[in-house]
Each structure stands twice: as C-alpha cells, then as structure tokens.
Structure 1
Amino acid sequence: MSSAQALAGKKKEILKHWFQTTVDSYPADTARFLKNQQDPFANPVGQTTYRSLEALVDALIAGSGREAMMEALDPVIRIRAVQAFTPSKATAFVFSLKQIIRDCLSGESGDMVPLDRQIDEMAMAAFDLFMGCREKIYELKATESRNQFFGSLKRAGLIAETEADGPGF
C-alpha cells in the first residue's frame, strides 16, 4: 500500500488532529472558540481553516502540484498574515502534518519520502504566500500614511494639488 493510499484511508483522523494542532497555535481562549463553535457564520476563521486543511490533505492524496497547494493554503495564510504571528509560527502548522501522518499511519505508511517532499513544498508555498500577504499589508499601511500626510498638508494650505502634477508645494 502506498503512503498516499494509507493517507486516504485515515484522512478524517489526520484532518481532525491537524486541525486541532493548527488551532492550538492560537491563544487558549481563541483556540477553544475555534474548536467548539461549529456555526460557520459565528466562526469563519475556524471554518476557513478546516476547509483549507481538508483541501491540503486532498492535494497530498492526489499528488497535486504547487498551484493546487497554494490555492488551498491561500485562505488560511491570509488569516494568519493579519494576526500577530511571526512567519515561522504562521507556517509551522504545515510541518506538524509530518508527525501527525506518522502517528496516524504507524506501521502501514510505506515510503514516506514522497509525502515528506510534498509537505516541504507545501511549507515553502505557505511561507511565500505569507510573505506576499505581509508585503501587501505594509504597502497598504505606507500608502495610507502617505495619504494622511499629504491630506494634512493640503488641509493646512501648505500644498496645492493639480490634476496634471499631483501633489505639489
């Protein structure tokens, strides 16, 4: 039995443990809420995280490439990028999947090297997505600060704006 077939047979168990581990990376009160609140409207972060993890397990089973993994990672990484996670903490949940799979498939896993490579690729994709989101956040903050600064100067009468030239002194 291949590792992908073994993974497919234990998908629900693996997904349950991976979700628990991922949610446990949040503060205790938040983690408890994310685990216990089943209403997708009251708990969009928990539902989005669960769906993303499920899509990632499906991608592993199917042997999908980087694009499929990035598509599945995008929602959960966007959530984690706006929170107070460091890049390593935000993406560590991907690496935890290796041990979860080993624990769930003990004795029946076969060759784990292909799965390990896919998980490593998934982690690199997660890091790339996280950094892209953080760059966008900082770009938006810089643009907002610049707009506030020029707005203040304009209200103070220190600059005049023309359509052709943009802000000017």
Structure 2
Amino acid sequence: MKLKTLLAKHKSTLVSRWVDAIVETYPPETAKFLKNKKDQFHNPIGHTIVAETQHLFDLLIEGVDREKATPFLDRIIRIRAIQEFTASKAISFVFSLKYIIREVVGPEIDTEDLDQELVDLEATLDFMSLVAFDIYVACREQVFDLRAKEVQQNAFLLLKRANLLVEKAGPEPENL
C-alpha cells in the first residue's frame, strides 16, 4: 500500500488531530473557544484553521508546490503573525503533522518503500515550513511598518495641534 493511500484512508483522523495540535498552541480559554464554536461568523479563526489544514493536507497527498501551498499557509500564518506568536510557534503546526502522521500511520508502514515515501513526505513538510516562515516574516514586516506609520502620524498630529510644526511644502505623513 502506498503512503498516499494510507494518508487518504486516515485523512479525517490526521486532519482532526492536526487541527487540535494547532488549537492547542493557543491559551486554554482561546483553545476551548476555537474547538467548540463551529460557525465561521462567530469563529472565523477556527474556521480558517480547519478549512486551510484540509486544503494543505489534500495538497500533501497530491504533491505540494510553492504556488499552490502559499495561499493556504498564508491564511493561517497571517492570523498567527498578528497574534504575537514567535516565529517558531507560529510555524510549528507544520512540523506537528510529521509526528501525527508517524503516530497514526506509522504502525502500518512495514516496507522500505513506504519508509522512503515517509522520508520524502517529511521533506515536503520541511519545505512547507520554510514557505510558512517566509510568509510569517513578510506579515511581521507589514505589522511593524503599520506600527511605525501610526507612530509617525500620531507624532505629526501632536506637533500640529501644539503649533510646533513649521509648515513647509509637501505632503503630510498620512498622505505618504
């Protein structure tokens, strides 16, 4: 039996455990909320995690390429980047799938061919984690840029209100 067949056979268990592993990285109250609220409008983060892990798992079975994986990873990482996760914690969910697969499917792997397929699959997950890291860094850069612009605009407005600003030609910071 091919590894991809085994993954497809155990898909619901693997994806469910993967979602649980992601949710468990949140504080207990948040994790409880994310697990219990199924409505996408009351729990958009939980809904996104479930939907995107299913898409990523499907890609893992069919073969991942950067262009296909990026949008699904982006939707999860974008959430985690603004929630002040460290980089390692934000992308750790990709690595957790390795251990979940070994726990669920490992006992059914009995040939060297499947062992090699598992090594290849884990290399694919490593690749996905690198893509996730790139996305995380880009999102954090956006967050820092927005914060810097906000500080600049607030300072400009304070100076303007205190009449300490010398008017000169050119656009105001909020128009930059």
TM-score in terms of structure 2 length: 0.89
State the Cα distance separating 1:64 from its structure 2 match: 2.3
Of the three residues 131, 135, 141, the one matched with 1:125 is: 131
In structure 1, distance between residues paired with 2:25 and 2:64: 27
In structure 2, distance between residues paired with 1:51 and 1:20: 13
Q: How does 1:1-169 map to 2 (within 5 A)?
A: 1-109=1-109, 110=114, 111-162=117-168, 164-166=169-171
State the Cα distance separating 1:121 from its structure 2 match: 0.6
SS of 2:107 mapped into structure 1: coil
Tell me the amino acid that sits aligned with residue 163 of structure 2: G
In structure 2, distance between residues paired with 1:166 and 1:40: 42
SS of 2:42 mapped into structure 1: coil
State the Cα distance separating 1:39 from its structure 2 match: 1.4
In structure 1, distance between residues paired with 2:20 and 2:162: 54
In structure 2, distance between residues paired with 1:166 and 1:42: 41
Deviation per CA, 1:9-42: give whole Å up to 9, x if none. Answer: 2111100000011101111111111111111111
In structure 1, distance between residues paired with 2:4 and 2:125: 12
* Structure 1: tracts of 5 or more residues without a match: none
Percent of aligned positions that are identical:
43
State the Cα distance separating 1:150 from its structure 2 match: 1.2
Deviation per CA, 1:63-117: give whole Å up to 9, x if none. Answer: 0201211111111111111113111111111100001011111233412011111
- RMSD between aligned residues: 1.6
The answer (yes or no) to whether the contact 1:48–1:75 under 8 Å persists in 2 is yes
- Residue correspondences, number: 167
State the Cα distance separating 1:161 from its structure 2 match: 4.0
TM-score in terms of structure 1 length: 0.92
The answer (yes or no) to whether the contact 1:4–1:115 under 8 Å persists in 2 is no
In structure 1, distance between residues paired with 2:31 and 2:167: 50
* Structure 2: tracts of 5 or more residues without a match: none
State the Cα distance separating 1:138 from its structure 2 match: 0.4
